[in-house]
């Protein structure tokens, strides 16, 4: 008999067993796709892993690590704390303070709720000023312009296939207008993508900007286009 898990909603869980191993199954994950996480006591983890690999082999189950996870979460437009934004605990300067509206979480804010909450007045003031001074967007990066930066140094193209996690300036009209915080080559979309915070003028999809790209210590700029998030939104994730 196969268990039906369709009634388990996002961020809900249910107890289960794999053979004699008790586990807790939660509908969570960090890939943007439909998935479940299996929670188990450390002393049973190896046995559970071996059993999953055994029964999953006919279905093409394969292990994947953090590099694959980081790539998948970026394709899904999921942000990473202390990379794409700084937590209040670690913020040292004003630029490291983020409001929910600045990182795409405005849909989670209810300013009309009857109960008060920490930050409400600041968020109302931000809204009344016309919204945050920086907006979270997706970028697709023109690959030929990346190639040209390597060709200018007479070097072969050396773009990493792993996700980079560093702040890179974004330019438009001769000045810096934002910064990208992580990017990757997307095997699904067959293009280089990144997430960034930019000035409101450059928030609309289709806005043209440039991403700083360094080759052997020489700074260059690669053409980029603002696109909606998520980059990849498969229907199956809502199955």
N- to C-terminal Cα separation, the chain: 21
In angstroms, rounded to a whole number, what is the distance separating the alpha carbons of residues 74 and 109?
Answer: 23
**Domain carrying residue 28:** 13-63
Give the DSSP letter of residue 3: P
Q: What is the per-residue burial (b if ≥16 Cβ within 10 Å, else e) of 125-150?
A: ebeeeeebebbbbbbbbbbebbeebb
> Would residue 4 count as lying in a domain?
no
User: What are 176-234's pLDDT values in tens digits?
Assistant: 999 999 999 999 999 999 999 999 999 999 999 999 999 999 999 999 999 999 999 87
Beta bridge partner(s), residue 141: 192, 224
User: What are 125-175's pLDDT values in tens digits?
Assistant: 999 999 999 999 999 999 999 999 999 999 998 888 899 999 999 999 999
CATH number at residue 190: 2.40.30.110
Q: Quote the pTM value.
A: 0.88
Residue 138 shares a structural domain with residue 57? no
Enclosing H/E stretch for 128: helix 120-128
Residue 59 shares a structural domain with residue 138? no
């Amino acid at each position: 008999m196969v268990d039906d898990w369709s009634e388990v909603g996002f961020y809900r869980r249910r107890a289960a067993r794999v053979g004699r191993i008790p586990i807790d199954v939660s509908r969570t994950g960090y890939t943007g796709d439909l998935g479940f996480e299996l929670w188990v006591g450390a002393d049973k983890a190896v046995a559970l892993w071996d059993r999953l690999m055994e029964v999953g082999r006919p279905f093409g189950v394969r292990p994947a690590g953090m590099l694959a996870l980081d790539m998948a979460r970026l394709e899904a437009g999921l942000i990473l704390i202390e990379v794409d934004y700084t937590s209040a605990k670690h913020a040292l300067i004003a630029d490291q303070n983020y409001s929910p509206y600045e990182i795409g979480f405005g849909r989670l804010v209810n300013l009309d709720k009857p109960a008060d909450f920490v930050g409400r007045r600041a968020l109302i003031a931000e809204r009344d000023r016309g919204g945050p001074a920086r907006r979270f967007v997706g970028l697709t990066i023109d690959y030929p312009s990346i190639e040209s930066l390597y060709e200018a140094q007479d070097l072969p193209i050396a773009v990493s296939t792993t996700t980079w996690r560093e702040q890179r300036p974004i330019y438009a009209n001769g000045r810096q207008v934002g910064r990208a915080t992580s990017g990757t080559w997307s095997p699904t979309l067959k293009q280089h993508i990144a997430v960034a915070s930019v000035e409101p003028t450059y928030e609309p999809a289709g806005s043209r900007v440039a991403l700083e790209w360094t080759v052997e210590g020489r700074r260059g700029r690669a053409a980029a286009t603002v696109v909606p998030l998520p980059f990849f939104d498969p229907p199956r994730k809502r199955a």
